[in-house]
Amino acid sequence: MHLFFSVGEPSGDQHTAHLIEEIRNRCPEARFSAFGGPEMQEAGCHLEVRLTDYAVMGILNVLPLIFKFIQLIKQVGQYLESERPDAVVLVDFPGFNWWVAKKAKALGIPVFYYLPPQLWAWAPWRIRRVRKNVDYILSGLKFEKQWYESRGVKVDYIGHPFFDEVVSKTLDQNVLSELAQSQKKTVGILPGSRTSELTRNFPVMLQVVRQLSELFPDATFPVACYRQAHFELCQNLIQEEQATDLPIQLYLNKTSEIIEAADCCLMVSGSVSLELLARKTPAVVLYRSHWGMYFLAHLLITCKYMSLPNLIADQELMPEFPSVGSPEKDVAKISAIFNDWLSTPLSLERARTKLTSLYNETVIPGASAQAAKSIVSHIQPETQQKSAA
């Protein structure tokens, strides 16, 4: 059995690495190739292209890479035609993966979409592409399964792998001890996994940190950096924003430890919100954009919230701030929420209790195993027929 994966996001790289391990448990002779990321490679997947290096959001960030993406689309088409894998598994990254699905479907290769694009959130007319080029959706969200099913798409609900990864991950006890040692109030800063997100959001986060550090001189603000380049970018932004006096410490690849140790977090909107839910850590959600993207979002977005816990709960458990233009008002409002949480333990506990209730009501364990089971069960009969032929 040969499976080809197309994965462009860092979080998708992590989820797919676990999925590969689960498929190998069921099919030890399976072969895996991909346009993917380093964690998949560590799990034994052969990388044709390190696609996660091109993870960007927004049309203005995509445009400089457009010729590279055209080249990659041509390359993936040639690879599928020459190798003819038994199935293609797409993970998020719809701008690129729609083309991969189209190429695979034209060659008669079954297409799975694991953790599919959030069509229910914006531009729902894209469902036509799913019906035409995707055979099975593997959905991590219960309401998402219902949305796709009601539109005539085959869906298996497998739960979200983020929750399994939280349970199974071994945390760095030295970092946890370091964060807990001071016994001070701790506000985790999560500036995003994309460079463009970090560049837009981290300077505003520093403004919030400055206000909070004046209100709570003993508070500490650990910053989660996804990779070395982000660590260095944060260092540069701290210098540029004249924030070297703030009680900030940068950590590389210690997001889980920061979330676990923090009293609460300030985060950029993204899938990391599910880890905050799993660890029951209250958070405020920020997402900075430019005016063009802001107006486009108002035209296209069809859901009430931008963070997944709020969408699952259908209420704002994590206060959200889609921010554009001058950030002063948003900084003041965000600081006021943290002021309430840090000065009134009962307020913080209420926020934590709401997250705990949502987690207990909605989380289903074993998502990676369920996804592996679904993929294998759908394609094994076909591979057996190929072998017999």
Mind giving me the DSSP string for 67-130?
A: HHHHHHHHHHHHHHHHH--SEEEEES-HHHHHHHHHHHHHTT--EEEES---TTTB-GGGHHHH
> Would the pLDDT of 56 be above 60?
no
Identity of the amino acid at 369: A
CA atoms lying within 13 Å on the CB side of residue 266:
34
Instruction: Give, in order, the Cα–Cα distances in Å from 55 to each of 197, 199, 251, 267, 342.
Output: 11, 14, 21, 19, 35
Q: In terms of domains, do 155 and 254 share one?
A: no
Percent of the chain residues past pLDDT 70, beyond the cut:
91
- Count CA within 13 A, CB hemisphere, residue 298: 9
The residue ranking higher by pLDDT, 154 or 195, is: 154
Are 374 and 263 members of one domain?
Answer: no
Residue with tokens 């346009």: 35
Q: What is the mean pLDDT of the chain?
A: 90
Show Cβ contacts of residue 152 under 8 Å, excluding neighbours closer than 6 positions.
131
pLDDT of residue 325: 85
- Tell me the residue type at 305: Y
Q: pLDDT by residue (tens digit) across 91-123?
A: 988 889 999 999 999 999 999 999 898 888 777
Mean pLDDT value across residues 211-235: 95
pLDDT above 80 for 226 = yes
> Which tens digits make up the pLDDT trace of 144-159?
899 999 999 999 999 8
| Residue among 66, 71, 37 nearest 53 (CA) | 37
State mean pLDDT over 158-183.
Answer: 86
For residue 252, give every residue at least 6 positions away whose Cβ sits within 8 Å of its Cβ, in sequence order, or none: 225, 227, 228, 231
Q: Are 98 and 179 found together in one domain?
A: no
Q: Looking at residue 59, what is its pLDDT?
A: 46
Judge whether residue 250 has pLDDT over 90.
Answer: yes
Q: How confident is the model at residue 121, as a pLDDT?
A: 76
For the residues 349-369, what does the mean pLDDT come to? 92
- pLDDT for 286: 95
Rounded to an integer, the average pLDDT of 196-216 is 95
Torsion angle of the four alpha carbons 62, 68, 70, 73, in this order, in degrees rounded to the nearest 10: -110
If asked whether residues 224 and 355 sit together in one domain, one would say yes
**Cα dihedral across residues 30, 31, 36, 39: positive or negative:** positive
Tokens of 154: 């085959």
In total, how many domains does the chain have?
A: 2
Percent of the chain clearing pLDDT 90 (strictly above): 68
Whether the predicted pLDDT of 63 surpasses 60: no
Residue 367 confidence (pLDDT): 93
Burial of 324 (0-12, 13-18, 19+ CB in 10 A): middle
The answer to whether residue 164 sits within a structural domain is: no
Q: Is pLDDT of 370 > 60?
A: yes
State whether 123 and 219 are in the same domain: no
Are residues 270 and 288 in contact, defined by beta-carbon separation less than 8 angstroms?
A: no
Q: Who wins on pLDDT, 195 or 372?
A: 372
How far is 277 from 80, CA to CA, in rounded Å? Answer: 38
pLDDT at 388 over 60: no
Overall average pLDDT of the 268-293 stretch: 88
Residue 58 reports pLDDT greater than 60: no
271 with 316, same domain?
yes
Q: Report the Cα 302 to chain-centroid distance in Å.
A: 20
pLDDT surpasses 70 at 369: yes
- 187 and 57 belong to one structural domain: no
CATH number at residue 70: 3.40.50.2000
Mean pLDDT lowest among 19-33, 140-154, 340-354, 373-387: 373-387
Q: How many residues does the chain have?
A: 389
Q: Would you say residue 55 has pLDDT above 70?
A: no
Checking if the pLDDT of 64 tops 90, the result is no
DSSP-derived letter for residue 220 is: B
Alpha-carbon gap, residue 159 to 180, rounded angstroms: 32
Residue-wise pLDDT for 296-350, tens only, equals 666 666 667 888 899 888 899 999 998 888 999 999 999 999 999 999 999 999 9
Q: Give backbone dihedrals phi and psi of 114, rounded to 5 degrees, phi first.
A: -90, 125
Residue 384 counted as domain residue: no
Domain that holds residue 321: 172-361
Residue 388 lies in a domain: no
Q: Tell me, yes or no, whether 253 and 353 share the same domain.
A: yes
Q: Are residues 110 and 138 in the same domain?
A: yes
Whether 288 and 303 share a structural domain: yes
User: Considering the domain boundaries, does residue 165 fall inside one?
Assistant: no
Asked if residue 383 has pLDDT above 70, the reply is no
386 domain residue, yes or no: no
244 three-class SS: coil
Q: Identity (one letter) of the amino acid at 233?
A: L
Q: Kindly report the backbone phi and psi dihedral angles of residue 199, in degrees, each rounded to the nearest multiple of 5, phi listed first.
A: -60, -40
Q: Are residues 354 and 370 in the same domain?
A: no
Instruction: Report yes or no on 184 lying in a domain.
Output: yes
Q: Which helix (H) or strand (E) holds 249?
A: strand 248-252
Residues 133, 22, single domain; the answer is yes
**Domain-embedded: residue 167:** no
| pLDDT tier for residue 60 given thresholds of 50, 70 and 90 | very low
- Residue 385 lies inside a defined structural domain of this protein: no
pLDDT bin (cut points 50, 70, 90) of residue 143 is confident
Q: Kindly state the average pLDDT of the residues 175-189.
A: 87
Q: In this predicted structure, what is the pLDDT of residue 54?
A: 79
> In Å, what is the CA distance from 193 to each residue of 233, 272, 334?
12, 9, 21
Residue 276 has pLDDT above 80, yes or no: yes
Q: What is the mean pLDDT of residues 245-256?
A: 95
pLDDT at 37 over 50: yes
